[in-house]
Amino acid sequence: MRIKTLFVCIVTFLFLQSASYSDDKKLKTGSNTTKEFDATSGINMYSGVFDFSDDGQRANLFGIEHQNHNLYRDTPLGRFSPVTGFFITENNASYIYTGIEANYELGPINFTPSFTPGLYSQGDGKDLGSPIEFKTDLQLSYDFGETTNIGMSYNHVSNASIGDKNPGANSYMFNFLKKF
């Protein structure tokens, strides 16, 4: 119950904070010029089911992620930017991570795959075999205006066989992204 209360408080804080930002964002570049940005950062709040494919270890999860579009890089493979976040399950298993995501805009639909290595703590949840885990994520979201996206994502957390065992965990989440 405390996890749900904390999650609601974080969501409320982020809405109030994002309302205080102005709509005209500018970024200073090295040559003292400014460049227009729709949004330089985003907070992705999500909730879903951790390890949905294992009946004995299935658990609700709540998470938050910071997406820094201010540090994006355009490459031949698309636009990449850093991402950092954490999630916690109802069994007190937690994962803190940082990595990279690609951003592909297909009209109002956004496709965002990511790869994020991190540290996993089992708590009372599933033993994934190692504190070092790797999360691959696929997210589809829909633009509801310039600063809000709603979507769904799927991820797989695994230690790539560097631990004693490698059972992995598959999860799905519903995402709410607020850009500011």
**Domain, as residue range, for 175:** 2-21+41-179
Query: Is residue 14 over pLDDT 60?
Result: no
More confident residue, 12 or 46: 46
Mean pLDDT to the nearest integer, 12-26:
43
Instruction: Return the CATH number at 172.
Output: 2.40.160.20
Residue 104 C-alpha from the chain's centroid: 15
- 172 within a domain of the structure (yes/no): yes
- 27 within a domain of the structure (yes/no): no
Q: What is the pLDDT of residues 153-175, one digit of tens each?
A: 999 999 999 988 999 999 999 99
- 30 within a domain of the structure (yes/no): no
Helix (H) or strand (E) holding 14: helix 2-19
Query: Is residue 32 over pLDDT 50?
Result: no
| Predicted pLDDT at 145 | 83
Q: What is the CA radius of gyration of the chain?
A: 17
- 138 within a domain of the structure (yes/no): yes
For the chain, what's the residue count?
A: 180
Give Cβ neighbours of residue 26 (< 8 Å, ≥ 6 apart).
34, 35, 36, 37
Q: What is the pLDDT of residues 50-89, one digit of tens each?
A: 999 888 889 999 999 998 877 888 889 888 999 999 999 9
Query: Is residue 34 over pLDDT 90?
Result: no
How many structural domains is the chain composed of?
1
Instruction: From 137, 172, 177, select the one nearest 60 (Cα to Cα).
Output: 172
Q: Report the distance separating Cα 41 and Cα 14, nearest Å.
A: 12
Instruction: From 139, 158, 159, select the one nearest 150 (Cα to Cα).
Output: 139
Instruction: From 72, 166, 154, 101, select the one nearest 127 (Cα to Cα).
Output: 166
Strand 94-106 vs strand 59-68: parallel, antiparallel, or unpaired?
A: unpaired
Q: Report the distance separating Cα 64 and Cα 103, nearest Å.
A: 18
Mean pLDDT to the nearest integer, 25-46:
57
Query: Is residue 28 over pLDDT 80?
Result: no
- 70 within a domain of the structure (yes/no): yes
Q: What is the pLDDT of residues 97-149, one digit of tens each?
A: 999 999 999 999 999 999 999 999 999 999 999 999 999 999 999 998 888 99
Mean pLDDT to the nearest integer, 4-14:
54
- 160 within a domain of the structure (yes/no): yes
- 157 within a domain of the structure (yes/no): yes
Q: Report the distance separating Cα 43 and Cα 146, nearest Å.
A: 14
pTM: 0.77
- 35 within a domain of the structure (yes/no): no
